[in-house]
Amino acid sequence: MSVFTYSATAASVALLLASSHQAQAVTPDDEGWQAEVEVGLLIRSGNTESQSWKGKLNLQREVALWRHQGEFDYYRQETDNAEGESIVDADRFFASAQTNRKFEEDSNSSLFLYASYEDDRFKSYEYQSTIAAGYGNRYTWREGLFADFEVGPGYSYDKRRDTGETEGDWIVRLAGRLNWDISPTSRFTQSIATEVGDDNVRTRSVSAVTANLNSALALRVSLTMTHNSTVFPQPSGRIPEKLDTETAVTVVYSF
């Protein structure tokens, strides 16, 4: 992980802790962090021997003037070839942290600070990291149906896999997230973010439908898509696809 990424993550964590401490001071009834642990496992045998699993942790907290979010997502797949050797087909880690500071306690407008890091063995980059800040707004149609919109400048810092070179680029980050509580036991969420730079345009989209089994457990079907406008040949000569998709069915535990 690069020095830039460590700095960005440290700054985000420091801001989260500082703002959380301030929020607790003015809001005694703060319920603290809400967390979701998401796990999925698929094992195939017979003509095809493979194992794939997905683990994800979502953190969220909203109190007084502050709104915080964190995400840690890991996916891996292995397939056994004809010789019985295990071949890794997918290996990806993504993490992000964001904090929003509202202008007033009942205001829809806010300022945000965002940082992310992604490491994918099968992409053109050993890692891609971003830090951005700007303006955010929440539009609410009714309780349980709202959308967040954000725009602001930032900086991306990536490492190419083919040459080992690191590259920095100023970007503009555009992001949106929709939350729709379809019923008391089901929810649809859609998030999409685009980071526009001179060297690359990076887009990440996550669509998910969640159905509650009880107060703590739920089933989730999700589709994650990531797109890079610029790709480079791998050391093996393979040219990665610009678009990656991941479909998952997972069990979610909330606490």
Q: How many alpha carbons lie under 13 Å from residue 217 in its C-beta half-sphere?
A: 5
Domain containing residue 66: CATH number:
2.40.160.40
For residue 133, give the H/E element and its range. strand 125-142
List Cβ neighbours of 214 (8 Å cut-off, separation of 6 or more): none
Given a cut of 50, whether residue 14 has pLDDT beyond it is no
Using the structure block, give the residue that is written with the tokens 């087909």: 89
Q: Which domain holds residue 30?
A: 3-254
pLDDT of residue 85: 76
Cβ(95)–Cβ(114) under 8 Å? no
Q: Report the mean per-residue pLDDT for the chain.
A: 86
Q: What is the pLDDT of residues 186-230, one digit of tens each?
A: 999 999 999 999 999 999 999 999 999 998 999 999 999 999 999
Domain tally for the chain?
Answer: 1
Lowest mean pLDDT among 14-18, 141-145, 231-235: 14-18
Q: What is the pLDDT of residues 220-239, one digit of tens each?
A: 999 999 999 998 887 777 88
CA 221, CA 81: separation in Å to the nearest integer? 29
Confidence of residue 103 (pLDDT cuts 50, 70, 90): very high
